Amino acid sequence: MIQVGNKIPESILTYIPYDPELKDACGIPQPLNTDEDWKDKKVVLFGLPGAFTPTCSLQHLPEYAQRYKEFKDKGVDLIVCLSTTDAFVMDAWGRSLGVKDKVLMVADGNGDFVKDTGLVLDLSAKRMGAIRSQRFAMVIDHLKVTYLGVEPGGGLTVSGASAVLAHL
């Protein structure tokens, strides 16, 4: 598993840029290259097992959007939510919760990022897929991990916005 001090692996993720003009229409997925797009940034990245799931929708994602200004005040350039689904699902989920451009909703559709970082969660026994993301949060500063919190079980003890803010 990736550790504090490691460089994040280069990954190509996808997202649909926030567009307030799009109401019910879908935007066009865009590639995001972690090495190129995050090289000069402080990024708070949090991963979760699934979009539209109870803990993820009711607690994890909303808290990051609600505390956006606190992250910005601590020098964070970008807050990113990652899940192993497609960019259309991530976009629809973000719009349904009204996160707007506060949180970049990113898809790791093939699970490459979670595989390369060792953050895969196998939920095949629950019929939810073998390649899901563990619930985690990391702070990435100029591509280096400065904080990593991987949830040991249910709940938001180390990956919620409060825990990450305490480490910034």
Which is the catalytic residue, given 56, 114, 120, 148?
56
26 is catalytic: no
Whether 80 contacts 45, CB under 8 Å: yes
Cα gap 131→16, rounded to integer Å: 22
- Cβ proximity of 67 and 40 under 8 Å: no
CA gap 148, 94 in Å, rounded: 23
**Contact (Cβ atoms closer than 8 angstroms) between residue 107 and residue 85:** yes
> What DSSP state is assigned to residue 107?
E
Residue type, 83: S
- Dihedral angle over CA of 47, 137, 69, 85, nearest 10: -10
Catalytic center residues: 56
